[in-house]
Amino acid sequence: MKTTSYSSTVSSTSAEPAPVAFAVERWTWLSKFSVSAVVAGQVLLALAPLVLDAGAIDRLTTLYIYGILALMWNALAGYAGLVSVGHQAFFGLGAYAAVRIADAGMPPYLALFVAAVVVAAAAIPLSSFMLRLKGGEFAIGMWVVAALCHLLVNLDGLVQGETGTSLISMQQVPTETRRLATYWFALAAMAGLAWCVFGLLRSKVGSALQAIRDSQEAAASVGIQVLPTKRLIFVLSAFGCALAGALWLATAVTFQPKTYFSVQWTAYMLFMVLVGGIGTYEGPIIGAILFFAVETAFGAAGVTYLIGLGLVAVLFALLLPKGVWGTIECRSGLQLLPVGYRLRTVRQSRMD
């Protein structure tokens, strides 16, 4: 474990305590155990279809898609301070691009990935305009972008307006093969994006993002390239949400614009991140699991279920503004995954 020590002494009277040293560390025994446990858990999840029934596989696939959405929205809002209420634009565009690319003759699962890449590429020029907006302007601007994308997709003759269309090439894949392939694709996508965010947060980019979130002017004054750094996380979130939309299409097969461009997807992202803990690495995953559990138990209740979600979100905002994991981390100092640094005090003997 790599540490850097800084010692602090006051005076040398015999009645005074020994000098104190401060060790800056990233890896602890707990973080090493946590990372090992996460890797082992991902391996077990990859083997889960060997013992689970079809219904359980489908539900876990849904959970992985929710996990992707929570991770991407938290990366954007929790670490870069870019609160979006229009990220359903990328979710819907990912599904739409997959339909279009597969219709051109590309194999369906390759089309899912290529569609996300295409949407991420489209997010680059879009970022040149959107990232100049701040605060509420950015949030409203993204909502306008989502509404505009919805209208433009409706004009495509292949989609037939709100009637929608299907991913025809996916229907030709045997049901069991499609279920397993989509499961593994969703798991790989969630794990890959989670480790990607983990790596970014441990790099200089992660520190830059958090500095920008706290104050763009102060970040720029110390040499941080604000716009390129924000563009990186914006494009990554666009890619992840587009891939989630394409994966949802693989599970549903049918594509209806009003479903995929619905603001409910951003509402789900907000709920998962706020309940789990915005600005924490573990929080979005915890929020996704809680949301998944609530949806599984009460999803059939219709409007009552949506009202319940809203009430739960309000209660968390009032009583636990840092979310579940944010509150635990704040009160206990517990950090499972080493995305930041910790300051540890070390007593030194006077003989040192």
Domain ranges of the chain: 1-28+344-352, 29-262, 264-334
Judged against a pLDDT cut of 90, whether residue 97 lies above it is answered with yes
Strand partners, 344: 23
Spatial contact of 325 and 276, defined as CB atoms under 8 Å apart = yes
Judged against a pLDDT cut of 60, whether residue 77 lies above it is answered with yes
Judged against a pLDDT cut of 60, whether residue 269 lies above it is answered with yes
Helix (H) or strand (E) holding 344: strand 342-347
pLDDT at 1: 46
- Angstrom distance (rounded) from CA 78 to CA 80: 6
Judged against a pLDDT cut of 90, whether residue 33 lies above it is answered with no
Q: What is the pLDDT confidence band of residue 340, given thresholds at 50, 70 and 90?
A: low
Q: Average pLDDT in the 100-117 region?
A: 93
CA atoms lying within 13 Å on the CB side of residue 106: 15
Report CA-CA distances (Å) from 241 to 16, 75, 100, 112, 235. Answer: 58, 12, 17, 12, 10
- Angstrom distance (rounded) from CA 177 to CA 250: 12
What own/partner pairs with CB < 8 Å and gap ≥ 24 does 293-302 have? 296/59
Listed in sequence order, the residues at least 6 apart from 145 whose beta carbon sits closer than 8 Å to its beta carbon are 86, 89, 126, 130
DSSP state of 19: P
Q: Average pLDDT in the 63-72 region?
A: 95
Listed in sequence order, the residues at least 6 apart from 309 whose beta carbon sits closer than 8 Å to its beta carbon are 267, 271, 291, 294
Total Cβ atoms within 10 A of residue 201: 19
pLDDT at 194: 93
Strand partners, 165: 255
Residue with tokens 């989502």: 146
Q: What is the pLDDT confidence band of residue 12, given thresholds at 50, 70 and 90?
A: very low
Report CA-CA distances (Å) from 9 to 14, 19, 22, 137, 140. Answer: 13, 5, 11, 50, 53
DSSP state of 279: T
Q: Average pLDDT in the 166-195 region?
A: 91
Q: Average pLDDT in the 194-198 region?
A: 92
**Tokens found for residue 296:** 């599984």
Spatial contact of 197 and 71, defined as CB atoms under 8 Å apart = yes
Q: What's the distance, CA 103 to chain centroid?
A: 29
Q: What is the pLDDT confidence band of residue 7, given thresholds at 50, 70 and 90?
A: very low
- Report residue 5: phi and psi, to 5°: -105, 140
Q: Is the model more confident about 217 or about 71? A: 71
Least confident of 21-25, 73-77, 145-149: 21-25
> How close are the terminal C-alpha atoms of the chain, in Å?
21
- Angstrom distance (rounded) from CA 80 to CA 74: 9
Listed in sequence order, the residues at least 6 apart from 123 whose beta carbon sits closer than 8 Å to its beta carbon are 90, 234, 235, 238, 239
pLDDT at 342: 60
SS3 4: strand
- Report residue 343: phi and psi, to 5°: -105, 120
**Tokens found for residue 351:** 């003989």
pLDDT at 22: 55
Judged against a pLDDT cut of 80, whether residue 17 lies above it is answered with no
Judged against a pLDDT cut of 60, whether residue 318 lies above it is answered with yes
Q: Is the model more confident about 345 or about 109? A: 109
- Angstrom distance (rounded) from CA 99 to CA 111: 8
